Structure 1
Amino acid sequence: MTISLDARPLDAALDALAHGQPIVLTTPGAAALVLPAAEASTIALAFVIRHSSGLVGVALPGDRCDALDLPPMRPSFRHDGERGWCVAVDAATGVTTGISAADRAETIRRLADRGARPGDLHRPGHVLPYAVHPRGILGRLALPEAAVGLCMLARLPAAAAFAELVSPEDPRRMATPGEAAAFASAHGVPVLDSAVAAVSGRCGEP
């Protein structure tokens, strides 16, 4: 099957990520705000937290999770080479309670730092690492893998902060793709529909 893509939404999303700005990323089953973890600022993360569930994850390659000693939340999360959610963390230094936007931004940047070591993180914490499929978007067509792939395309470290977007119409549920697109337009945020299709032909393994 050949998918015809308009490159403009992808280019706009990559430009935003390259400048540390959020994008709205939609897949058939989810809509999320995504930030490049390496460039996560307090202001950008506060925006993400305000309009999302508040549960912020950081998608990372599995080898980085291993290097940082981030075990899976439960052993049963491992299947077909996929690990998923890992034990939550806070930065070991430079934070207070760990829950504020400033503290979580510090933790997120620490997770993206290739020089970080296990001792640079406290467990448990307030930021949830997510180990993506070993083959990235080529192995699993899902939002975390797409987010990491987009950061790689933007020539940033393979680490993406993400939080699921809450419906602007009904805060008791998550946003639909249509609501996500309307939200992006209202806030001037690039939106990438069917992002997994957009990056699958241009992203390799993380």
Structure 2
Amino acid sequence: MVDDENRENEGDLIIAAEKVDDKAINFMATHGRGLICLSLTERRVEELNLPLMSQNNESRDSTAFTISIEAKEGVTTGISAQDRAVTIHTAINNNKSKDDIMSPGHVFPLVARDGGVLVRAGHTEASVDLSRLAGFIPAGVICEIMNDDGTMARIPDLIKFSEKHKIKIGKIVDLIAYR
């Protein structure tokens, strides 16, 4: 999913959080190379009692990171692809509560603004909107795509990436138009 060239001008891998498994996390870590984050609704963040990482958010695009998390059960060190998938499934499970997670951890939640991409045209909101529109729990897992040399992948790079891995490219602007 790519955002506007006048915004971050980046592409993120996106998957519905409830569809995440160790293979998806490993693909993101290996091929995306960016920070793997869990996009959650404002309501779910409140239910899990996750404070923002910074009360004075000075990031250019107001990305709303919370403190990092880990599942209390079912994980070992927390960093493996399987452990991160377990943490993600714990965090999105409505039968689980703040008592089932701990901090710090190896999963980085983001708060999606209510109203989704119509309010903020970011990858965080796009992942929640796409998951909701597909009939899944409104939560997504995202990872920025970096080139082999560590630079951020731009449209020409992302086209090659999508062809190589046989994945589609979506645009946030198109999601906004659809909504």
Tell me, yes or no, if structure 1 residue 94 matches structure 2 residue 74: yes
Equivalent residue number for residue 139 of structure 2: 159
Of the structure 1 ranges 85-94 and 31-40, higher mean CA displacement relative to structure 2 is found in 31-40
- Selected match of 2:158 from 180, 186, 191: 180
Aligned length: 173
- Residue 175 and residue 83 in structure 1: after superposition, are their counterparts in 2 closer, same or farther (change >3 A)? closer
Whether the 8 Å contact between 1:149 and 1:158 is mirrored in structure 2 is yes
1:119 deviates by 0.9
Equivalent residue number for residue 173 of structure 2: 197
Structure 2 unaligned blocks of 5 or more: none
1:53 deviates by 2.7
Tell me, yes or no, if structure 1 residue 148 matches structure 2 residue 128: yes
Equivalent residue number for residue 13 of structure 1: none
1:124 deviates by 0.5
Distance 1:173 1:145 in 2: 24
Equivalent residue number for residue 36 of structure 1: 16
Structure 1 unaligned blocks of 5 or more: 1-24
Aligned residue for 1:58, secondary structure, equals: strand
Distance 1:32 1:98 in 2: 23
Aligned residue for 1:123, secondary structure, equals: strand
1:134 deviates by 2.0
1:202 deviates by 3.9
| TM-score, with structure 2 as normaliser | 0.90
Equivalent residue number for residue 53 of structure 1: 33
Q: Report the residue type matching 2:174 in the other structure.
A: A
Distance 1:60 1:75 in 2: 18
Residue identity over aligned pairs, in percent, reads 28
| TM-score, with structure 1 as normaliser | 0.79
Moved over 2 A (4+): none
